[in-house]
Amino acid sequence: MKYLTGRDFAFPEYLPRYPREFDFEILHMRLDVSIDPQGGVVEGAVRYRARARRDGAAVVLDAVEMEVLGASHDYYYDGERIEIRPGWRRGEEAEVYVAYRARPRAGMYFIKPHGQRKGFYVWTQGESEYNRYWVPLPDSPNVKFPWTVAVTVPKPYVAGSNGLLVEVRDLGDRQTFVWELRHPMSPYLLAIAVGDFEIHRERCGGVELEYYVPRYVGGGWRHSFYNTCRIMQFFSEYLGVPYPYERYAQVVVPEFIYGGMENTTFTILTDWTIHDRHAHCPYTGFPCPEQEDFSSDPLVAHEMAHMWFGDLVTAKDWGHIAINESFATFVEALWTEASRGRDEYLYEIYTNFKTYLGEYSRRYSRPIVTNLYKIPDEVFDRHAYEKGSAVLHTLRSLLGDGVFRRALRLFLERYRYRAVDIEDLRKAFEEAAGRDLEWFWRQFWYSAGHPVLKVSWSYSEGSLRLQVKQAQGDDSYPVYTFPLEVKVVYEDGRREVREVALGDREVTLHLGAAKPRYICVDPAFKVMKALDLQYPLESAVAMVEDEDVYCRLQAVEVLKRNGSARAVEALGKALGDRFWGVAAEAARALGEVGTELAVAKLMEAYPKVLHPRVRRAIVEALGASRRREVGEFLDRVLHDLGESYYVRAEAARALGKVKWEFAEHSLKKALEYPSHVDVIKRGALEGLAELGTEDALKIVLRHAEPDMPTPVRASAVQALAKFGPRREVVEALRRYMRDENFRVRYAAVTAALELLDPKLMPDLHERAEQDVDGRIRRVAREIVEKLRKFMERGAEYQKLREEVEKLREEYRRLADRVARLER
């Protein structure tokens, strides 16, 4: 039953994992640390008030690569865990402490001055299990306790943390900030940030909002956070549980290794999210919800959603990370619906599902909820985030919004400040809905894969026949059971929506005698599934103008596969769709068709469309067409200073792909343009890599060097794979796989996947075994397996070539004999 384990996710040595058990309970933690931002050292003492759960229990704290300076009782330390024995009996309380010093390789990051950034910055990143590198603690999500943190730093640096600031002590050239989190929280949510921050404040009802902004950022931070209060108010109202804490701080830091991290009351965010007005609204004034290009709203909403899902209630084990990440991704989409409308929400769920399908098809499939993993970071993937959001959307559609919201409120209130699993969620939903939902949990949470519906219809002699076949592979649930709506639009203009109860591999319906114009499956997009639509061309041409956005998206898919001149004409009209998401999908479809007519439609539509994301899709599609005649057009877009940063960056990539004769000159010029996170420069580097010339390689290698900004370096390193297994490329990738910067190391490892050069096998093995970051270890291990298979196939190919050559030689000998006989 592969649907219970999936495909290619778990390696052979993987064993089931279960939540850790502790023989003690933490009642409170007191942490006093002194941080040396310049020296990269943290020193301090941590005190725990604890209660024994059995006689003689040991207090076991995770503490990796530390120097233990002392402890309150007899202790044993092996370099990864400290074991302290207070000599107590069950039910007794004791205080234990550990004094220590550390120079962390992970968990706490020391960022040096670089370019316009003059000061030092220090920040922590605890999820999944990295706080153990800078503080001894029981590093497991199923433990919760309140804490007090006192952080001493040199002046003029500010030190922020979770909870409320209760004291600031002046120590001359240093100062201590004392923070108190009064709510029990999981240890991975403990966070500290130190730096030269400007702190901006406002009130949102009874909650204090804070924005920690590095001084080098300037005023652009307002474009990122202007909706913070509205998002908080919406979540509080929709979920039925007011924001559960007294304060919410958003802390911008340099070189953050994620987009953001939801530390309770103290979210840390990458400075990449800070952007100017032109990045946000390139064609109009600010704000511009109808024509937005880059927005921080998804990041702000996602991390704030975690204050409920992940912090207030927490997955008790990483295998149940859907409690945190599926919900945060879904609740983020709810904000999209509230702020921008239903079509935007549905398109976000649609693109989320397509993102998951990319991981499913190219990497692996697994159940969203699984305990078969080795590294906790492995389950933070597109299954947990995007697929999980689509499953929650399906559940909402099945139960109705009212029942769904009651269930969320019940779940949050019942398990407040507790660690839970997906079964706790099921019980809350069953109670709110008054029905059994085990069938849903088994199909969508506990099984790998997804429904694949092959749909066809035919009309003959007054009979309309609709056929729905479940065509998912053996790594998916064998036969899914769920209701499916079908909309029939007849030639006379009538519309009819029928419900089909799926529960067999194949369902055939006879829907009536009238002639249909077209049929749309699941018009309101209520169910997560992949569709294989066998529709007549003319029905798709008609459906591309349907009132339901999901029907129009289906029509685009059918027209793309057809690719005829008639289909291209219909896709050309769809470029002017009233919703930008449909227009963008139509542009990409035309790029895949790639005919001369399709390219003409794209270029003709470009000046008429007003949404920058549609223009981005058009430019991307022109590059995918790989036709040289678009070179001059892309060159004009790239050097149009009034155009969107992101459209111009896409034009740079496309220019390299089409191999325009003047592309190299144009792309070199584009390297000098300023833009949000250097997106134009990065696009130009990727375009140069597509050209593959010697000069281009020199330029890309230069931009991978350490004096360049991290986004530029990462893009350059990733682009190196385009040049093939040249000596300079292989040597550079080896070097950058060991770079101090996480994003650069990750780029080097993923570039190795594209290169598939066996010479990199030892370096990838090293990353898979030794890298401190779990994400890099996982990806490196996957690439090692792919390389091994590639090499095995290479051996097979070599053997086949040898066999063919032997046959050719035998044929030549036979031919010679035949010729001699004939003579």
Same domain, 138 and 238: yes
398 Cβ contact partners less than 8 Å away, ≥ 6 residues apart:
440, 482, 483, 526
Position 428 in a domain: yes
**pLDDT in the model for residue 805:** 54
Last residue of a domain, one of 430, 445, 460: 445
Same domain, 49 and 192: yes
Residue 335, CA distances (Å) to 239, 277, 307, 345 in order: 12, 22, 15, 8
Mean pLDDT of 680-693: 98
Same domain, 78 and 195: yes
Confidence of residue 815 (pLDDT cuts 50, 70, 90): very low
**pLDDT in the model for residue 116:** 85
For 429-464, write each residue's pLDDT tens digit.
Answer: 999 999 999 999 999 999 999 999 999 999 987 889
Of the chain, the end-to-end C-alpha distance in Å amounts to 66
Position 173 in a domain: yes
In order, the DSSP letters of 315-365 are ESSGGGGGGTHHHHHHHHHHHHHHHH-HHHHHHHHHHHHHHHHHHHHHT-B
Same domain, 213 and 362: no
65 Cβ contact partners less than 8 Å away, ≥ 6 residues apart:
79, 102, 103, 104, 105, 133
Position 441 in a domain: yes
Q: How many structural domains does the chain have?
A: 2
Query: What angle, rounded to 10 degrees, do the helices at 596-605 and 580-593 form?
Result: 150
Position 234 in a domain: yes
| Residue type present at position 175 | Q
pTM: 0.95
For 577-606, write each residue's pLDDT tens digit.
Answer: 999 999 999 999 999 999 999 999 999 999
Supply 545's token pair. Answer: 């103008």
Position 461 in a domain: no
Same domain, 321 and 223: no
Mean pLDDT of 769-783: 96
What percent of the chain has pLDDT above 90? 91
The CATH number of the domain holding residue 79 is 2.60.40.1730
Q: Taking 90 as the threshold, does the pLDDT of residue 211 lie above it?
A: yes
User: Do the beta carbons of residue 770 and residue 748 sit within 8 Å?
Assistant: no
Last residue of a domain, one of 425, 445, 465: 445
**pLDDT in the model for residue 810:** 52
Supply 17's token pair. Answer: 């994992």
**pLDDT in the model for residue 793:** 78
Taking the CA atoms of residue 313, residue 267, residue 65 and residue 325 in that order, the dihedral angle to the nearest 10 degrees is: 40
Exposed e or buried b per residue across 369-400, where buried means at least 16 C-beta atoms within 10 angstroms of its C-beta: bbbbbbbbbbbbbbbbbbbbbbbbbbbbbbbe
Position 680 in a domain: no
Q: Taking 80 as the threshold, does the pLDDT of residue 819 lie above it?
A: no
Range of the domain at 165: 24-271
Count CA within 13 A, CB hemisphere, residue 417: 10
Q: Which residue has the higher pLDDT, 431 or 793?
A: 431
Q: Taking 90 as the threshold, does the pLDDT of residue 60 lie above it?
A: yes
Same domain, 30 and 170: yes
What percent of the chain has pLDDT above 70? 96
Same domain, 379 and 249: no
**pLDDT in the model for residue 635:** 97
Supply 192's token pair. Answer: 């500290």
Confidence of residue 695 (pLDDT cuts 50, 70, 90): very high
Mean pLDDT of 293-301: 97
d(CA 633, CA 594): 16
Percentage helix, strand, coil, to 5, in the chain?
45, 25, 30
According to the per-residue pLDDT averaged within each range, which of 506-520, 619-633, 727-741 is highest?
727-741
For 234-252, write each residue's pLDDT tens digit.
Answer: 999 999 999 999 999 999 9
| Residue 294 DSSP SS3 | coil
Position 73 in a domain: yes
Same domain, 325 and 233: no
**pLDDT in the model for residue 460:** 85
The CATH number of the domain holding residue 373 is 1.10.390.10
Position 10 in a domain: no
d(CA 599, CA 604): 9
Same domain, 149 and 45: yes
At 374, give phi and psi (nearest 5°): -115, -50
**pLDDT in the model for residue 791:** 83
**pLDDT in the model for residue 821:** 40
Same domain, 441 and 378: yes
User: Do the beta carbons of residue 188 and residue 107 sit within 8 Å?
Assistant: no
Mean pLDDT of 399-425: 98
Mean pLDDT of 601-620: 97
User: Do the beta carbons of residue 124 and residue 111 sit within 8 Å?
Assistant: no
Q: Taking 60 as the threshold, does the pLDDT of residue 812 lie above it?
A: no
Same domain, 152 and 215: yes
Average pLDDT across the chain, whole number: 95
In order, the DSSP letters of 582-610 are HHHHHHHHHHHH--HHHHHHHHHHGGG--
User: Do the beta carbons of residue 682 and residue 649 sit within 8 Å?
Assistant: yes
| Residue type present at position 198 | E
**pLDDT in the model for residue 823:** 37
Q: Which residue has the higher pLDDT, 788 or 182?
A: 182
Longest dimension (CA), the chain: 109
d(CA 726, CA 723): 7
Cis preceding linkage at 156, omega within 30: yes
Confidence of residue 822 (pLDDT cuts 50, 70, 90): very low
**pLDDT in the model for residue 809:** 52
d(CA 499, CA 488): 11
Confidence of residue 511 (pLDDT cuts 50, 70, 90): confident
Cis preceding linkage at 128, omega within 30: yes
Lowest mean per-residue pLDDT among 54-68, 377-391, 662-676, 777-791: 777-791
Last residue of a domain, one of 445, 464, 484: 445
Bridge partners, residue 98, by sequence: 46, 71
Mean pLDDT of 542-570: 97
Same domain, 204 and 73: yes
**pLDDT in the model for residue 816:** 46
At 313, give phi and psi (nearest 5°): -120, 140
Q: Which residue has the higher pLDDT, 636 or 821?
A: 636
| Residue type present at position 667 | L
User: Do the beta carbons of residue 212 and residue 165 sit within 8 Å?
Assistant: no
Confidence of residue 795 (pLDDT cuts 50, 70, 90): low
**pLDDT in the model for residue 818:** 42
**pLDDT in the model for residue 798:** 55
For 461-494, write each residue's pLDDT tens digit.
Answer: 788 999 999 999 999 999 999 999 999 999 988 9
Confidence of residue 811 (pLDDT cuts 50, 70, 90): very low
